[in-house]
């Protein structure tokens, strides 16, 4: 096939070569049928193959978010998930899946943390490698992302991250290195951000020296969507494919001019095209060039896998007096309050990870299925949790006299007759990608609204660019500048300021929304450059100001048990926005609910669904806490399995859980400082991320340590042993014991650190792990193989990986804090390694 690629390459004109360097549209590459080059389709995302439509498209299986998968600590499950994701990808006509996401959790407020695996590079790398293997052994290309250091969403298109080379290599690039060396992904996606002043898509250190040089990787590098920032620079650095299309930086004239000016060579163009043709070959595009229509295939095997993986990822954080599990016999005839988000299936976060799931099992549905009619369940919401008011849709009449809104398209900055008019628009929102309106146009949305209730009702509004709202000709809202992040606007996480307007029942109010494309005031509009978009929310005062808490407390007081479901809906935890608070939204309402219910009913269980650690000011009042993450479409069933005891919890935290946000390692340097229009964030914590940081400060700073998780089973470790061979390989063994009457599982975690502590190095580093399942009363010896490379550090002075001679402690534990067996090993002499 290499000969075929070279033959095709030699047949292409320079114009044809350049055309291949960017996408045809949002998801597909450019075909050249006359030369036998087909298009191939890509698809989001990391926890399911969504297909081409962002909202309401072809239904797809929703798998657990990466943070939930990581909590299983089970590479075998990750590989099976990769297999299933490949099958899902093919049903969407795609051959390239844009995932897994594998950036480290640097700070608890990272908006996209849920989409990534862990704070620890080894755990993230090992699990992501198995997802890659699972995808590619079924012929679908994995695209590991975002390379590198995409740990925040604030100003993500332009933020400059100042990172030491040691931290970059040991923490932020290490998961990518593991995945590349153990699974050889066929594609890598660059990050939006800058590292030390250079955008990742044109970063010679990342793409040339390390990725293609030291690591010897030879796949395709694509940009994040709208993340190409130059023409010659990105091509020279090694960015093969600009996405999406049509191109912004790779028009033929710009590329040929760069060649003529000596900034770019045709040999570089050939190399970029060669990598694109190679990817088409790997995914079978030349053998079968058809892009079939999207299909929705609800595979029973995928349903079972999602429920199994979710069950293994759920972490039991607290269980005083064994209040859980609630066995069917124990609660038969009882009355249980299901409060908070019990009727919402929090199956995924917002953004690229969102999709139109085959179905969504809420905790309410799952618990009813688990217990049947033997238990009486009652519900109350208890807290306002919305982030955005719903778009105004009811009681609206367009300019044509029919239900809905009228959309008018005008030349930008002009007030003459519109160049396009459409009636019957259903609500007060406009998505430019869905509507497919042309760039550099203004959009007006008009309707006559007749309220059915008198009151000072609530409105809110936001736009990608400058936006105004008029009611009966009066300006009631104006946004003068651009959205902080245009993609965040599209994904539903853009903050909106609420305001009130007095309405009288049955009176007519003419509402007009005027929106313009983004101005040139910043460079953060990305692929939305030149596109207008907006939304206007509305909520009646009676609904907005309703007292939900009192009703929930009354119900809880009248029940035998109260289960409060807390968490983040997709608009609160989403791509495009970092978290606004360490506390649960909205405005403390969920914390107030838990606290009040705990005072009303001591038999309270909290089930939290977030992809990040959160504040728990009520923790001391609550006997049991379950961390459910975003567990996919089987969410409610998996949660019910754990609550009822059908599943014995075996999830372990893939992140450290601080008591206060101020204790987190990047607290003083997140999300950075703005100066002269440039946001800069300094990674001054260096390699001391997550448990590496908490090991050096007071243990009281940690609510729950990395690797922690409870079980309904008593599990312990004993008899640790480490042997070393002449090649600096280590064999570590430990015996895991189940002393209870239930089958259970634990994760054996092996850490290595210097016996003589040093301020320059972590106290210990995770080097190996293994999940072991044990029958009641049984024990099993676990063997872990470790290389000296696994605890090497990068020495910036020599530009090499090293291990200093001396004594090292191999620590076996069930978390980073709970060490149950330790062995000291001597390493004679310093080592300089080739990693």
> 745 is in which domain, residue-wise?
715-833
Last residue of a domain, one of 602, 625, 649: 649
Q: Give CA 798 to chain center in angstroms.
A: 36
Q: What is the CATH number of the domain that holds 432?
A: 2.60.120.260
Handedness of CA 422, 423, 424, 430 (dihedral sign): positive
| 735 and 765 fall within a common domain | yes
**835 pLDDT more than 70:** no
Whether 774 is in a domain gets the answer: yes
| 799 and 750 fall within a common domain | yes
Whether 770 is in a domain gets the answer: yes
**433 pLDDT more than 80:** no
| 518 and 584 fall within a common domain | no
Task: Please say whether the beta carbons of 188 and 179 come within 8 A.
Answer: no
| 419 and 465 fall within a common domain | yes
As a whole number of angstroms, the distance between CA 117 and CA 101 comes to 8
Looking at 298-449, which runs of residues are DSSP E strands? 315-319, 335-340, 376-380, 396-397, 405-411, 420-425, 429-430, 441-449
Instruction: Specify the pLDDT at position 411.
Output: 87
For residue 293, count other CB atoms closer than 10 A to its CB: 10
Instruction: Specify the pLDDT at position 352.
Output: 87
Instruction: Specify the pLDDT at position 514.
Output: 95
Whether 205 is in a domain gets the answer: no
Instruction: Specify the pLDDT at position 529.
Output: 78
Digit-coded pLDDT (tens) for 533-557: 899 999 999 999 999 999 999 999 9
User: Which DSSP helix (H) or strand (E) runs through 608?
Assistant: strand 604-609
Q: What is the CATH number of the domain that holds 596?
A: 3.40.50.1700
Q: 3-class DSSP state for residue 76?
A: helix
Instruction: Specify the pLDDT at position 523.
Output: 52
Instruction: Specify the pLDDT at position 522.
Output: 54
| 626 and 520 fall within a common domain | no
Rounded mean pLDDT, 646-653: 98
Please list, in sequence order, all residues whose beta carbon lies within 8 angstroms of the beta carbon of residue 62, skipping any fewer than 6 positions away: 47, 48, 306, 347, 348, 355, 357, 358, 360, 632, 633
For residue 723, count other CB atoms closer than 10 A to its CB: 11
| DSSP-based helix, strand, coil % in the chain, nearest 5 | 25, 30, 45
Digit-coded pLDDT (tens) for 47-97: 999 999 988 899 999 999 999 999 999 999 999 999 999 999 999 999 999
Handedness of CA 99, 100, 101, 102 (dihedral sign): negative
Q: What is the CATH number of the domain that holds 762?
A: 2.60.40.10
Please list, in sequence order, all residues whose beta carbon lies within 8 angstroms of the beta carbon of residue 518, skipping any fewer than 6 positions away: 464, 465, 482, 483, 486, 525, 528, 529, 530, 531
130 CB-contact burial (10 Å; exposed 0-12 / middle 13-18 / buried 19+): buried
CA distances from 612 to 122, 124, 684 (A): 19, 15, 22
CA-based nearest residue to 339, from 490, 643, 549, 510: 549
> In total, how many domains does the chain have?
3
Whether 741 is in a domain gets the answer: yes
| 792 and 829 fall within a common domain | yes
The structure tokens listed for 406 are 């009228």
Calculate ∠ Cα 747-750-753, nearest 5°: 150
**458 pLDDT more than 70:** yes
Task: Please say whether the beta carbons of 420 and 409 come within 8 A.
Answer: yes
Calculate ∠ Cα 270-272-273, nearest 5°: 65
Whether 344 is in a domain gets the answer: yes
Three-state SS string across 453-507, please? Answer: CCEEEEEEEEECCCEEEEECCEEEEEECCCCCCHHHHHCCCCCCCEEEEEECCCC
Percent of the chain predicted with pLDDT > 90: 90
Rounded mean pLDDT, 195-217: 98
Digit-coded pLDDT (tens) for 298-317: 999 999 999 999 999 999 99
As a whole number of angstroms, the distance between CA 240 and CA 220 comes to 6
Digit-coded pLDDT (tens) for 150-167: 999 999 999 999 999 999
Q: Give CA 31 to chain center in angstroms.
A: 31
Rounded mean pLDDT, 425-454: 87
Rounded mean pLDDT, 576-602: 96
Instruction: Specify the pLDDT at position 531.
Output: 83
Task: Please say whether the beta carbons of 668 and 624 come within 8 A.
Answer: no
Instruction: Specify the pLDDT at position 416.
Output: 75
**437 pLDDT more than 70:** no
Task: Please say whether the beta carbons of 600 and 557 come within 8 A.
Answer: yes
- Highest-confidence segment of 480-484, 595-599, 674-678: 595-599
Rounded mean pLDDT, 516-536: 77
State the residue for tokens 């919890």. Answer: 649
CA-based nearest residue to 610, from 68, 119, 55: 68
Looking at 274-363, which runs of residues are DSSP E strands? 315-319, 335-340
Last residue of a domain, one of 522, 541, 560: 541
Q: 3-class DSSP state for residue 735?
A: strand
Region label for 413, one of left (φ > 0), alpha (ψ between -120 and 50) or beta (otherwise): left
| 534 and 555 fall within a common domain | no
As a whole number of angstroms, the distance between CA 294 and CA 303 comes to 19
CA-based nearest residue to 530, from 596, 597, 604, 442: 442
Mean confidence (pLDDT) of the chain: 95
As a whole number of angstroms, the distance between CA 606 and CA 625 comes to 5
| 431 and 533 fall within a common domain | yes
Instruction: Specify the pLDDT at position 524.
Output: 62
| 550 and 417 fall within a common domain | no
Rounded mean pLDDT, 254-272: 97
- Which residues form the catalytic set? 224
Give the pLDDT band (50/70/90) at residue 612.
Answer: very high
Whether 257 is in a domain gets the answer: no
Whether 804 is in a domain gets the answer: yes
| 600 and 533 fall within a common domain | no
Whether 810 is in a domain gets the answer: yes
| 735 and 645 fall within a common domain | no
Digit-coded pLDDT (tens) for 655-707: 999 999 999 999 999 999 999 989 999 999 999 999 999 999 987 899 999 99
Rounded mean pLDDT, 506-512: 97
Instruction: Specify the pLDDT at position 417.
Output: 83
Last residue of a domain, one of 625, 649, 673: 649
Rounded mean pLDDT, 774-794: 97
| 429 and 484 fall within a common domain | yes
């Amino acid at each position: 096939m290499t000969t075929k690629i070279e033959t095709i390459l030699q047949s292409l004109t320079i114009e044809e070569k350049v055309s291949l360097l960017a996408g045809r549209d949002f998801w597909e590459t450019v075909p050249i049928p006359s030369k036998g080059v087909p298009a191939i389709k890509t698809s989001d995302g990391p926890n399911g193959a969504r297909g081409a439509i962002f909202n309401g498209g072809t239904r797809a299986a929703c798998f657990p978010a990466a943070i939930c998968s990581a909590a299983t600590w089970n590479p075998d499950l990750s590989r099976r998930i990769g297999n299933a994701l490949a099958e899902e990808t093919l049903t969407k006509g795609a051959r390239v899946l844009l995932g897994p996401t594998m950036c480290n959790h640097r700070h608890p407020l990272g908006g996209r943390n849920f989409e990534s695996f862990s704070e620890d590079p080894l755990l993230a790398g090992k699990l992501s490698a198995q997802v890659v293997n699972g995808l590619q052994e079924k012929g679908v290309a994995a695209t590991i992302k975002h390379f590198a250091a995409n740990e925040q969403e604030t100003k993500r298109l332009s933020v400059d991250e100042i990172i030491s080379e040691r931290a970059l290599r040991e923490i932020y690039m290490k998961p990518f290195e593991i995945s590349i060396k153990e699974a050889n992904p066929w594609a890598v996606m660059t990050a939006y951000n800058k590292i030390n002043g250079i955008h990742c898509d044109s970063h010679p250190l990342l793409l040339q020296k390390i990725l293609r040089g030291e690591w010897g990787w030879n796949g395709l590098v694509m940009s994040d969507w709208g993340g190409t920032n130059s023409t010659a620079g990105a091509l020279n650095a090694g960015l093969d494919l600009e996405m999406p299309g049509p191109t912004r930086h790779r028009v033929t004239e710009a590329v040929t001019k760069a060649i003529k000016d000596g900034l770019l060579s045709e040999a570089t163009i050939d190399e970029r095209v060669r990598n694109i043709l190679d990817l088409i070959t790997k995914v079978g595009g030349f053998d079968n060039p058809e892009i079939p229509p999207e299909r929705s295939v609800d595979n029973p095997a995928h349903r079972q896998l999602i429920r199994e993986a979710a069950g293994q990822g759920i972490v039991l954080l607290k269980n005083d007096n064994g209040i859980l599990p609630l066995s069917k016999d124990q609660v038969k005839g009882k009355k249980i309050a299901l409060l908070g988000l019990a009727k919402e299936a929090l199956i995924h976060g917002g953004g690229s990870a969102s999709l139109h799931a085959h179905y969504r099992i809420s905790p309410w549905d799952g618990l009813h299925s688990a217990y049947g009619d033997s238990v009486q369940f009652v519900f109350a919401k208890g807290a306002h949790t919305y982030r955005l008011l719903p778009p105004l849709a009811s009681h609206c009449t367009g300019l044509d006299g029919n239900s809905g809104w009228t959309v008018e398209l005008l030349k930008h900055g002009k007030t003459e007759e519109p160049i396009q008019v459409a009636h019957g628009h259903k609500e007060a929102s406009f998505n430019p990608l869905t509507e497919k309106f042309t760039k550099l146009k203004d959009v007006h949305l008009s309707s006559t609204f007749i309220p059915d209730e008198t009151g000072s009702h609530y409105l809110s509004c936001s736009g990608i660019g400058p936006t105004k709202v008029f009611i009966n000709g009066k300006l009631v809202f104006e946004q003068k500048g651009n959205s902080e992040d245009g993609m965040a606007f599209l994904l539903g996480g853009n903050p909106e300021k609420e305001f009130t307007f007095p309405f009288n029942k049955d009176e007519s109010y003419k509402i007009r929304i005027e929106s313009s494309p983004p101005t040139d005031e910043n460079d953060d509009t990305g692929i939305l450059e030149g596109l207008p978009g907006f939304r206007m929310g509305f909520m009646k005062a009676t609904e907005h100001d309703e007292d939900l808490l009192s009703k929930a407390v009354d119900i809880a007081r009248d029940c035998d048990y109260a289960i409060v479901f807390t968490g983040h809906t997709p608009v609160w935890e989403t791509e495009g926005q970092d978290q606004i608070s360490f506390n649960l939204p909205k405005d403390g309402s969920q914390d107030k609910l838990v606290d009040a219910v705990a005072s009303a009913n001591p038999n309270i269980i909290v089930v939290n669904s977030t992809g990040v650690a959160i504040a728990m000011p009520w923790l001391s009042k609550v006997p049991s806490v379950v961390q459910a993450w975003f567990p996919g479409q089987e969410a409610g069933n998996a949660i019910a399995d754990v609550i009822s005891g059908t599943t014995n919890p075996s999830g372990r935290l893939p992140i450290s859980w601080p008591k206060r946000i101020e204790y987190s390692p990047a607290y003083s340097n997140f999300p950075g400082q703005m100066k002269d229009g440039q946001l800069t964030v300094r990674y001054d914590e260096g390699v001391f991320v997550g448990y590496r940081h908490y090991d050096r400060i007071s243990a009281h700073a940690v609510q729950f340590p990395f690797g922690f998780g409870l079980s309904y089973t008593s599990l312990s470790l004993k008899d640790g042993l480490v042997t070393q061979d002449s090649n600096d390989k280590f064999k570590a063994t430990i015996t895991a014991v189940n002393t209870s009457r239930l089958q259970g599982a634990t994760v054996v975690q092996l850490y290595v650190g210097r016996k003589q502590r040093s301020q320059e190095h972590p106290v210990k580093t995770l080097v190996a792990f293994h999940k072991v399942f044990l029958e009641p009363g049984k024990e099993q010896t676990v063997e872990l193989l470790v290389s000296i490379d696994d605890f090497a550090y990068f020495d910036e002075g020599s530009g090499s990986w090293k291990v200093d001679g001396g004594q090292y402690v191999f620590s076996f534990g069930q978390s980073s804090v709970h060490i149950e067996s330790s062995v000291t090993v001597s390493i004679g002499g310093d080592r300089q390694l080739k990693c």
